[in-house]
Structure 1
Amino acid sequence: MSLSQLIETAMYGLSQLFMLPVLLLVTVLFFYAFHALGRFLMQARQRRRGDPRAQELHAALRLDPSLGVTDLEAIAVHRLETLRIATRVGPMLGLVATMIPMGPALMALSDGQLQEVSRNLMIAFSAVILALIASAITYWVVSVRRRWLATELADIEKRGCRAAAHEQGGAPYDDPLAPLAAEGVQ
């Protein structure tokens, strides 16, 4: 066996070792996407009802009034981080899960084992479909939540400017969250 054949065989064997972990990650990503979708729908319902718990940055500010805009931006980025990673990693995992079974499928095709070809292609296409569905769901959720968080941050900045104007003798500052904070709602 030549060095080239040895390297090719080693690479093929090594790539096959990743099949199970990649399929498990695609499965976890798929279920995570639906978990994130459920949380998103619950938050959307809370926002429609005016529930202050749905306002994540306002809640963080009520817990720690010393937070600045930069701190709130960091909180927003942190809240979206896992979703953003899932959105980007999903298609990559889907591609890997498609390519790994192609080697055995092509080998089976050369041996005339059509049933084995069919089984490997079924795995390949199922994995990529689940990964893309998961990525589409998480992309949608992260896009809407990013808008919500940006709107909250803009609202907090605007209120901060009005509060500063009030302290300098400007118009009175009317904080709509003040009654909630007085009631202990977080």
Structure 2
Amino acid sequence: MTNPIESAMYDASQLFLYPVLIAIAVLFVHAFYALGAFGWQAWQRHRGQAGGFELMAARAQRPGLTLTELEALAVKRMEFARIATRVAPMLGLVATMIPMGPALKALADGQFADVSRNLMVAFSAVILALLAAAISYTVVNVRRRWYAVDLAAIKNGASEPAHDPVAALAVEGAR
């Protein structure tokens, strides 16, 4: 690179590889943690246990909670996973593009082992990021429906959780 601006941009972009890879690893681990918590909540909902119906349990503990406060609680509960569904693919793309520069340079220099190593990092990172996003997306969307059903039941004055056929299917699918 002869242009100092190009060289500075290249050097700056290389600084982000490890932070991006760490962020992807955190999102990947969190996705499986969220999946486990989701499975546990599905099991509780299937069995009709109060822990599976967070909004109803919160309302029972603090009867003064308004529907708006319960909606805020639901949004807060889903917030990190919802953000992960959007951020993980972006980080995957960044983690794919950063090693491409060194891979192309190594290709031009005939260093095929370096090309291979950089491509392995690039594609492994994007795969983990997309898996994290897919898991988080599924958890968020099912929970969103659960919370909508629970809020509707609370709004209609229900004190007991309704039977959730989808939770039963989730539990059956896990067996």
* TM-score, L = length of structure 2: 0.89
Bigger radius of gyration: 1
Higher relative contact order (CA 8 A, sep 6+): 2
Q: Corresponding residue for 2:66?
A: 68
Give the C-alpha shift of residue 82 in structure 1: 0.5
Give the C-alpha shift of residue 130 in structure 1: 0.3
Structure 2 residue runs of 5 or longer lacking an equivalent are: 162-175
Per-residue CA deviation, residues 30-71 of structure 1 (Å, 9 max, x unaligned), is 111000000000110011111011111011111211111111
Q: Corresponding residue for 2:144?
A: 146
Map 1:3-152 onto structure 2 (within 5 A): 5-152=3-150
d(CA) in 2 for partners of 1:70, 1:60: 13
d(CA) in 2 for partners of 1:120, 1:61: 52
Q: Corresponding residue for 1:159?
A: 157
d(CA) in 2 for partners of 1:48, 1:73: 22
Structure 1 residue runs of 5 or longer lacking an equivalent are: 161-174, 178-186
Percent of residue pairs identical: 61
* TM-score, L = length of structure 1: 0.84
Per-residue CA deviation, residues 57-113 of structure 1 (Å, 9 max, x unaligned), is 011111211111111111111111011011110000000000000000000011011
RMSD: 1.4
- Describe the SS at the equivalent of 2:63: coil
d(CA) in 2 for partners of 1:176, 1:41: 21
Q: Which amino acid is 2:26 matched to? A: V
